[in-house]
Amino acid sequence: MRRLTAWLVTAAVSLGSASADVPYNAPGAMNPVIPGYFADPTVKKFGDTYYMYATTDGSGAGFGPAQLWSSKDFVNWTLMPMNWPDSHWIWAPDVMLNKNDGKYYYVYCQPCQIHVGSGETPRGPWHNILGESEAVLVPDRFVTNAITLDGQTFVDDDGSIYMYWGTWGIYDGFGCGAGKLTPDMKGFTETRLIPNTEVTDFFEAPFVLKRNGTYYFMYSSGSCHDHTYRVQYATSDKPLGPYTYRGCLLESNADGTVHGPGHHSVLQESDNYYIVYHRHDNPHSNRGFHRQLCIDKLEFAADGSIKPITPTHKGIGALAKSSVTSPNLAFGKSVKASSSYDSDFKAEYAVDDNNGTLWRPKGMGQEWLEIDLGKKEDIRTIWTQWEYGTQFYQYLIETSLDGKSWDIFADKRDNRLAGSPMVDFGNTEARYVRVTFTGGQKNGFGGAIWNIKIFGDIEESCPQQWLGLTAADWDGRRWNNNEGQLGGYFTLKSGEARSCRVDGRDALVLQPGTVLEYANPLLSPAKPHTLSAMEHINGKWTAADLGNALTDGRITISSGDRQLTITNLRFYNWKQEPVETEFDLTTDIRRMPVADNLLNGIVVDINADNFATGDTIPYFDNNGVEGYFEAMSQPAVITEIEGKKAFKFDGSQVYMSSFALPATLRDNAPYTLEMWILNPEIAENECIADFTTSHDELEKIMAVNGTEPRCGVMQHYGWYEDAGWKDVKNLEGKWQHVYVCFDGRMERVYINDNLVSEKDIQLLVKPSQYITLGRNAERDWPFTGYLHSLKLWDEYIPYNK
């Protein structure tokens, strides 16, 4: 207790006095409250648990997956996956408890429609109340001149339920859609447009609360991409208005470190109110889609008006007794790393207990971070909060007494479980702790870490899946727990087992007399838990009888005197509701593939010098990965112009590769592109090479030559991520040496030795069937010029003149 008290005092001192804020990178700062990129939060308290529902950000434009965060104290949060929605976009979720039927309702939107699901717990499982998974409750313009987005519910004192929605409500005659829902939530008894003449500068994100008979209609104004985003409010004596504008509540701070705060919700705890909102990350990422969640106090004046809110970095701290019982031994300790990206992503940020600062290594390979605790300590638990909690990371944690000889604390090099924090348990004494990133689910994200927390006691309060095993985890000798937090494996104690396909599922078949055993001292039937698995019996899949499988320190699976066919074994360190277990017993564990990081080096290598002037080229070999390019129409002729040989394109030539883009270039993978081109007359958009067949947002790597200043050099189908050059027209009839290098964060574009574009971007490149030259994959944007050479690497190679 003395150690914990001392640590709390130290943290309090680091945050400064109660009245003063702290810098965004101050150790121990409580804002943001969540380690990761999330936006559009709705915060609720059901029972003794706080739930945070939010858009998954930092993944393009809110592309999921479905998730929630739970906490007992409002400081220590655990990411939990949900079964629904399963749509491409999952924006601005809201959850409410309908006291009319005792069910929870989950509201979310995608452009431009609102969907509603119901469930028996705040975690789901959810099912669309209208039947089909993507059935729409509120279509676009359901209320005239209200663009449908950002649905938010409000329950009045009499139990009536209202919904408010809208975006881009700034146009003349536009505003916010609103309506009173039917008791079954499947329709409306009345609707109204709350016009922007009542709610000045209404843009989106409505939220309504009631206090002392007054309805407070709060909303966001400005652009969510920049500093103008802010929260304003209006009041009324009726839930649907009319409303009277009252002013601005929350806006960017003076130094810009609280940037674009908005799209909020409000949590009421007795007579205290708290506003939860998102703001842009520090340093600010391009486009403003790497947002983070924060909380500050919301207070009312004596006349009922809301006092202007000063956004803070220090936040508010715990709202209940801490769920963590021991101090974080890593806080503020000395640290070193294999590399750091730059001064904005220092190694010490991994041990500062601040969700707004991040250690980011330079490379994408096996980067490491080493913490010196200062003296020998007992180590029982290590929490690692990786940059993206919604995708899995593979890693190794080692400990040492002298910094030279190392022992394995946790081996997660085969991990397939996403989560935050990743919790690893052990029992050792050490002074040094080293975490090494070894791989993960997606290319181009590397081993960036928000926080590493080290505890001398067992800290098992995070509700998580401790065991998750499918038949794919059987290696012939062991059943590996690759989808569970505890890691480890079931040992084959006797008999034999094999994996095979049974009735539509991958299954593990145990012959009679076979025993599998999993050992871990944390396992106990006396603790809250849920253990389940599927068994194939009498020709169908059903719940396995595991009544006696769990004993102190072990789980034993025995086939007895019969053949046992089993899969999807799950163990949670918390007690599920029956409906959650029932869902697990009909749903397979989703085993995501590991990203391919075995680099090819040069992928595409084309050079006109390999041919004679005058040659007609119907097809030619690629000098990178194995394969060739073939003309789909009129072939190009090798021409000499301005001292270089070149493929001549007149707009009718299109070449297609026989090979696909390698998997090493998927997701956000680093790449380097180099080409020599000459274009006599540069049009708005001309495609030299399209390396991807997908055409959704951020899924493109396409080299172009056009006059469009926003996207005339590189296109990713991202309004902010594309690159152009306003002076490219001056290069007509001249050779252009174009060099593009992307390291997974910054993309730099050089033309004739001049840096013409430099910005942080994020890509979402999908599997691609072929590469095209001369036009894009859709056969648009013909190139009318000369191509001397083209090279593409699946690695970052910085430009060197």
On whether the CB atoms of residues 7 and 290 are closer than 8 A, the answer is no
Positions in the chain short of pLDDT 50: 1-18
- Tell me the one-letter amino acid at 381: T
Q: What is the DSSP letter of 5?
A: H
Length of the chain: 801
Are both 334-455 and 602-793 of the same fold?
yes
Domain spans of the chain, in order of start: 19-298, 334-455, 465-584, 602-793
The CATH architecture one would assign to domain 19-298 is 5 Propeller (2.115)
DSSP 617-649: ESEEE-SSSS-EEEESSSPEEEEEETTEEEEEE
Place of tokens 């769990």: 550
Q: How far apart are the first and last CA of the chain?
A: 60
Other CB atoms closer than 10 Å to residue 343's CB: what's the count?
7
- 3-class DSSP state of 186: coil
Buried b (16+ CB within 10 A) or exposed e, 213-247: eebbbbbbbbebbebebbbbbbbbeebbbebebbe
State residue 454's pLDDT score: 98
On whether the CB atoms of residues 550 and 529 are closer than 8 A, the answer is yes
Place of tokens 């270039």: 665
Residue 247 CA to residue 240 CA, distance in Å, equals 19
State residue 88's pLDDT score: 85
Other CB atoms closer than 10 Å to residue 493's CB: what's the count?
12
Is 0.85 topped by the overall pTM? yes
CA 494 from chain center: how many Å? Answer: 42
For residue 311, cis peptide bond before it (omega within 30 degrees of 0): no
On whether the CB atoms of residues 775 and 682 are closer than 8 A, the answer is no
On whether the CB atoms of residues 326 and 3 are closer than 8 A, the answer is yes
> Which phi-psi region, left, alpha or beta, contains residue 652 (left: φ > 0; alpha: ψ -120 to 50)?
alpha
- 3-class DSSP state of 115: strand
- Tell me the one-letter amino acid at 772: T
Residue 33 CA to residue 78 CA, distance in Å, equals 11
Cβ contacts of 538 within 8 Å, gap of 6 or more: none
State residue 790's pLDDT score: 98
Q: What is the DSSP letter of 665?
A: G
State residue 2's pLDDT score: 34
Other CB atoms closer than 10 Å to residue 726's CB: what's the count?
12
Dihedral angle sign, alpha carbons of residues 606, 607, 611, 617:
positive
Residue 101 CA to residue 483 CA, distance in Å, equals 36
State residue 449's pLDDT score: 98
Cβ contacts of 192 within 8 Å, gap of 6 or more: 143, 178, 179, 240, 241
- Where does 334-455 sit in CATH, by number? 2.60.120.260
Q: Which of these, 357, 211, 194, lies nearest to 270 by C-alpha position?
A: 211
DSSP 387-452: S-TTS-EEEEEEEESSSSS-EEEEEETT-----SSEEEEEEEEEEEEEEEEEEESSTT-TT-EEEE
Residue range 602-793 in CATH 3.30.2140.20? no
State residue 11's pLDDT score: 42
Place of tokens 């026989």: 658
